[in-house]
Structure 1
Amino acid sequence: MDEAALRADMIEGLEHRLGEPLGGAVLNALQTVPREAFVDDAPYADRASEAVGTRALAPTTVARLLTVLDATAGDDVLVVGAGVGYTSAALAEITGARHVHAVDIDRRAVHLARSNLADAGYDAVFVDCRDGAQGVPEYAPYDRILLEAAVVTPPRALCGDQLAADGRLVYPRGAGDQTIVAVERRTDAERRPAEGAGAPAEDAGAPAEESAPDGFHTVETGGPARLRPMLVDGEQAGVERNRTRREDAELARQGQRARHGWEQEWIDWEAQR
């Protein structure tokens, strides 16, 4: 069976699992991108695949992310977690390759994504090795930002100036059970509810991991997901994590200094005597 027929079978299975047909842009992207250029082992099976320590998302997860992202031609997109490059290739079909910027904290994943994208004809996609929590400010603002990693709350840098005023940020929300969500900034009217009005229904009584970041609201959900948690600098494979250095920097940014506390729990005090 040829690859085009395998992709057609994959899409038929996706639509059956999702319970609805894919939108035109997402459908065309998944029909066009040769998944076999990114995944060696059973590329059209609906399961995640491992490669050099990174993971190719299952086709159903990719379809859910792309559907909720709702990118259109010409949108500038930032993908945090380049992985093997498959999602970036699909976005290149939707928005144009030069509008897609992808980063990964794992240098091996960056090399793999670049190689896969070049082999598949998408070498105009920007791929760089960076801490995704800091984004890519030099190409901002982005109309769409996609996190291919689970977080409870997206990094501030991505929610700030790097997201266009009318932009959309999509991520798997949650530390355990995850739900794919799309958030957008609240309008002035939404930020100033009428006197006596309560909190927006989305946030009323919701657990912290189910609420949108400050100044944002959830505009769409895309179903369950099971992605790895987002890494920050020092947590990538092959790099020894310097917890004190990283968290001291975080405290400094917050204007706080603590001599004792949770950030020192790892220290073996007996060995310090």
Structure 2
Amino acid sequence: MEPAVLRDDMVDSLEHESKGCVHSDAISVAMRAVPRHEFVEDDRAAYADRPLERFGTRVLSPSTAARLLEALAPSEGDNVLVVGAGVGYTAAVVAEIVGDRNVQAIDITRRLVYEARENLANAGYEGVLVDCRDGIDGLPEYAPYDCILLEAAAIEPPRALVDQLADDGRLIMPLGAHEQSLVVVEDGDVAERLGGVAFQPMLVEGEQADTVERNRTRREDREHARRDAERRRGWQQDWIDWDEQV
């Protein structure tokens, strides 16, 4: 079946009352235009409404991506930052609405940055800038932003991202740890809660999604070191001054 037909079927299902993820004409038209199969390795799974994995990160299902995009509500000409670019699909949908040169995207994992750049170029959105950055720092060189989309969970809105918003700008993000809500942040405060979500936590420098260390972050390494020190006995306690013990 032709990809355009599959895209129409996908968006039709997202608009149906059973899912109700797509409400606006802008998001509907954009998702029908973006060739999702350019961002997903398995062409057969590209238009199925389920998440996938790529280089250690989760590729959002179409329904989850639609929820984020509807909350972001970008308009033509907006300057938009996508934090956690992943494979680049959500950045492409935003670019379809605001123009590809008005979209910047960052990801902490260099391999995903290369992947997103290639995918966006293949899909026709080569004007989107994708850079390897720590998401918590944002991309101040292109600020202020009318919209910022954070595709990872944090327990509070990152200060740098809030500071990079335009005066009437908004940040869309999953807020919380074990229990998360999709929220709209305006003027530094949560202005609206849009229901529960489940996202991976925001990574910081030293925490890469595509390495064997993915599940052993810096914070976890410190905790493991502390516990290991507490378990040591006798000669293993290298902090003991043995000369004083004689």
TM-score band (shorter)?
Answer: 0.7 to 0.9
Gap change, CA 1:231 and 1:146, over 3 Å in 2: same
Q: Quick check: 2:85–2:106 contact (8 Å CA) kept in 1?
A: yes
Gap change, CA 1:266 and 1:108, over 3 Å in 2: farther
More helix by share: 2
2:160 is aligned with 1:222: no
Gap change, CA 1:243 and 1:164, over 3 Å in 2: same
Provide the TM-score with structure 1 as the length reference.
Answer: 0.77
C-alpha displacement of 1:267: 6.3
C-alpha displacement of 1:272: 3.5
- Same amino acid, percent of matched pairs: 53
Q: Quick check: 2:181–2:194 contact (8 Å CA) kept in 1?
A: yes
Q: Structure 1 unaligned runs (5+)? A: 186-214, 248-261
Q: Distance in 2 between matches of 1:241 and 1:21?
A: 36
Show the counterpart of 2:242.
none
CA deviations 1:180-212 (Å, max 9, x no partner) are: 111211xxxxxxxxxxxxxxxxxxxxxxxxxxx
Gap change, CA 1:184 and 1:2, over 3 Å in 2: same
Show the counterpart of 2:183.
181
C-alpha displacement of 1:82: 0.4
Show the counterpart of 2:109.
106
Q: Distance in 1 between matches of 2:8 and 2:65?
A: 16
Q: Structure 2 unaligned runs (5+)? A: 240-246
Provide the TM-score with structure 2 as the length reference.
Answer: 0.85
Trace 1:151-162 onto structure 2 (pairs within 5 A). 151-160=154-163, 162=164
CA deviations 1:120-146 (Å, max 9, x no partner) are: 111110101110000011111111010
3-state DSSP of counterpart to 2:126:
coil
2:27 is aligned with 1:26: yes
Q: Distance in 1 between matches of 2:23 and 2:111?
A: 32
3-state DSSP of counterpart to 2:27:
helix
2:39 is aligned with 1:38: yes
Q: If you compute each CA radius of gyration, which structure gives the higher value, 1 or 2?
A: 2
Amino acid at match of 1:218: A
Alignment coverage as a number of residue pairs: 227
Amino acid at match of 1:9: D
Amino acid at match of 1:15: E
CA deviations 1:204-256 (Å, max 9, x no partner) are: xxxxxxxxxxx42323x433322111101111143685459xx9xxxxxxxxx
Q: Quick check: 2:149–2:173 contact (8 Å CA) kept in 1?
A: yes
Q: Quick check: 2:77–2:98 contact (8 Å CA) kept in 1?
A: yes
